[in-house]
């Protein structure tokens, strides 16, 4: 392979340093997929017949996020699927791949390389997949969604592979962990590695590498050959004991992304998402906000849907993004929706009731801004939930949806929403919940819900409600009410519309409706168990 590959600063730093362990906090578009592809190739080539692990939060995220961004680069570099590597199948005999030291009994979750090295795709929603395994290297992407306790109990102990064969390599039993900046305490586990990074050791490695490069380029003599051997041994010992931790904003990859990409992300993303996902800066959450009883435990990451479970990993990258990927959706139950209406931004929050468990699952949220109005918002919902077999919606609304039309041209909000759903082929049950609840009563009701004192406790799909969770967690209190003073201000780059309290208001309506006005829709009682 003679293909030249451009590496940005982050990728060059990690690949050239050669530390055993690397923990990289990097913004969107920085090329974390390239980094994982490079490490994957290094592991496969330097440790033939080895077994490593690629850890994903769920099979769904492996299918749609992590693996496609990694494997596409192997193809670009000339390593072709079906020739140099396979996924989800036992390598055909005609490829003549050597057998790994420990051959899998089931190849459905493995990537196999022409060197005989294999990489197991470990999906965390399948408990115990790392038990009794023996890995030579770990790759972990989207670490902010990975369960650290499960990683610590199952996968880390399995990183104990073949010392006799690969113990001479400084990165054996190492790991590469990557993520953008987390915004939750549970997702921040990998930030603790910063204290284990020794800057002096990192600089010493770079110094030895510089000296080694000098002697390698010098005229070959007995002395220079001896110095190369000595320095190589010193370098490997330093690398074997090194952990490299670093943060890189998306600006690191400006040569590839371009200035316009950064400007667009600043325009399109909620400011706090831009801070964490692009600039890689931490964010402080309100401690005494309107939703003071909400805890990190009220967020969840869904497991793998039945649809994804039926697919082999050879379908990676070719799966359409829709509700059929969502393991938390009850397919034969109606979807409950609520809105918040505004001239410049309109929100929809989608949920389902699991009454036997006393849960309100906030499945997903949508918003549209400026020229996109309610018809487009409903259309976005109907496109995403097109595979949902039960085309039934329970539409909760209060008096703010009546007699107003600043988000549309003619009829009021409730009429427009209902008609838009019906035009898309959905059956709608409009449920009027009366005048908006007083802030003090709403605060009491919803926080009792978070405390588990009501019929329903709300739980949020963390991956599908990024902007909504920011709207909720940043909602403050002013004069005993939810602080909504910022809603009417002009949007700025630091104060995006979607970061304000409008989204939280849509959630309020959904929760009040489901808690106070539970419905039986077309004879189907909304009361079924769902995996969370």
Give me the tens of pLDDT residue by residue for the chain, a chain 532 residues long.
456 777 888 999 999 999 999 999 988 778 889 999 999 999 999 999 999 999 988 888 888 878 888 889 999 999 999 999 999 999 999 999 999 999 999 998 999 999 999 999 998 877 766 767 899 999 999 898 888 989 999 999 999 889 999 999 999 999 999 998 886 666 788 989 999 999 999 999 999 999 999 999 988 899 999 999 999 999 999 999 999 999 888 777 676 677 777 777 776 666 666 766 677 666 554 556 889 889 888 998 887 777 877 777 767 766 788 999 899 999 999 999 999 998 889 999 999 999 889 999 999 999 999 889 999 999 999 999 999 999 999 999 999 999 776 655 568 899 999 999 999 999 999 999 999 999 899 999 999 999 999 999 999 998 899 889 988 988 888 777 888 776 666 666 556 778 788 999 999 999 999 999 998 644 444 433 333 3
Tokens of 467: 């902007």
280 within 8 A of 25, measured Cβ to Cβ: yes
> Could you write out the DSSP letters of every residue in 215-271?
HHHSPP-HHHHHHHHHHHHHHHHHHHT-EEEEEE-GGGGHHHH-HHHHHHHHHHS-H
pLDDT score for 524: 43
H helix or E strand, kind and range, residue 209: helix 199-217
Query: Cα angle vertex 317, ends 268, 327, to 5°?
Result: 80
The Cα 301–Cα 145 span in angstroms is 8
Residue with tokens 């003090």: 440
> Could you write out the DSSP letters of every residue in 155-191?
IGGG----HHHHTTSTTTTEEEEEE----SSGGGGGG
The Cα 473–Cα 259 span in angstroms is 31
21 within 8 A of 175, measured Cβ to Cβ: yes
The Cα 288–Cα 477 span in angstroms is 8
* Contacts of 252 by beta carbon, 8 Å cutoff, 6+ apart: 8, 9, 10, 26, 27, 30
H helix or E strand, kind and range, residue 430: strand 427-432
In the chain, % helix, strand, coil (3-state, to 5) comes to: 40, 20, 40
Tokens of 129: 């997949």
pLDDT score for 530: 34
144 within 8 A of 131, measured Cβ to Cβ: no
| 26 strand-pairing partners | 248
Would you state the torsion angle of the CA atoms of residues 85, 88, 90, 93, taken in this order, to the nearest 10 degrees?
Answer: -40
Tokens of 282: 């931490």
* Contacts of 219 by beta carbon, 8 Å cutoff, 6+ apart: none
Classify strands 110-113 and 118-123 as parallel, antiparallel or unpaired. Answer: antiparallel
The alpha carbon of residue 354 and the mean position of all alpha carbons in its chain are separated, in whole angstroms, by 25
Query: Cα angle vertex 290, ends 278, 362, to 5°?
Result: 65
109 three-class SS: coil
pLDDT score for 528: 36
The Cα 20–Cα 135 span in angstroms is 14
pLDDT score for 272: 64
pTM attached to this predicted model: 0.65
Q: Closest Cα partner for 316 from 54, 44, 495, 12?
A: 54
């Amino acid at each position: 392979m003679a293909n030249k590959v451009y590496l940005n600063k982050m990728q060059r730093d990690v690949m050239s340093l050669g530390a055993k362990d690397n923990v990289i906090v990097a913004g969107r578009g920085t090329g974390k997929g390239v980094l994982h592809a490079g490490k994957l190739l290094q592991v496969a080539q330097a440790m033939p017949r080895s077994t490593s692990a690629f850890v994903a939060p769920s099979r769904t995220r492996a299918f749609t996020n992590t693996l496609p961004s990694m494997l596409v680069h192997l193809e670009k570099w000339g390593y072709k699927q079906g020739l140099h590597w396979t996924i989800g199948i036992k390598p055909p005999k005609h490829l003549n791949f050597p057998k790994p030291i420990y051959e899998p009994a089931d190849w459905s979750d493995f990537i196999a390389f022409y060197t005989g090295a294999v990489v197991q795709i470990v999906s965390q929603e399948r408990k115990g997949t790392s038990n009794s395994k023996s890995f030579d290297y770990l790759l972990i992407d989207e670490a902010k969604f990975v369960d650290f306790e499960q990683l610590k109990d199952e996968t880390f102990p399995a990183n104990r592979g073949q010392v006799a064969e690969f113990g001479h390599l400084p990165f054996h039993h190492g790991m590469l962990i990557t993520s953008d900046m987390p915004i939750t305490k549970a997702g921040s586990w990998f930030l603790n590695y910063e204290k284990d990074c020794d800057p002096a050791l990192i600089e010493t490695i770079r110094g030895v590498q510089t000296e080694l490069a000098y002697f390698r380029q010098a005229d070959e003599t007995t002395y220079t050959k001896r110095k190369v051997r000595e320095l190589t041994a010193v370098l490997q010992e330093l690398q074997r004991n090194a952990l490299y931790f670093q943060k890189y904003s998306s600006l690191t990859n400006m040569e590839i992304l371009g200035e316009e990409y950064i400007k667009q992300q600043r325009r399109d993303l909620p400011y706090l998402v831009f801070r964490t996902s692009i600039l890689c800066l931490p964010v402080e959450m309100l401690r005494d906000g309107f939703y003071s009883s909400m805890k990190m435990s009220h967020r969840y990451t869904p497991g793998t849907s039945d649809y994804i479970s039926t697919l082999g990993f050879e379908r990676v990258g070719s799966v359409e993004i829709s509700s059929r990927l969502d393991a938390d959706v009850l397919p034969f139950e109606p979807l409950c929706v609520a809105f918040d209406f505004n001239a410049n931004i309109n929100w929809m929050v989608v949920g389902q009731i699991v009454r036997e468990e006393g849960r309100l699952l906030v499945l997903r949220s949508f918003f549209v801004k400026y020229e996109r109005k309610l018809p487009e918002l409903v259309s976005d919902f109907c496109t995403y939930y097109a595979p949902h077999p039960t085309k039934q919606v329970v539409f909760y609304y209060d008096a703010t949806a009546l007699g107003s039309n600043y988000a549309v041209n003619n009829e009021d909000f409730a009429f427009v929403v209902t008609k838009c759903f019906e035009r898309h082929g959905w059956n709608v049950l409009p449920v009027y919940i009366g005048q908006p609840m007083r802030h003090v009563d709403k605060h009491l009701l919803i926080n009792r819900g978070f405390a588990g004192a009501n019929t329903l406790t709300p739980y949020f799909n963390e991956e599908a409600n990024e902007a909504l969770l920011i709207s909720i967690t940043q909602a403050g209190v002013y004069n005993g009410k939810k602080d909504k003073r910022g809603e009417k201000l002009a949007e700025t780059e630091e104060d995006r519309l979607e970061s304000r309290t409008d989204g939280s208001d849509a959630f309020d309506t959904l929760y009040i409706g489901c808690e106070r006005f539970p419905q039986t829709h077309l004879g189907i009682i909304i009361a079924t168990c769902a995996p969370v």
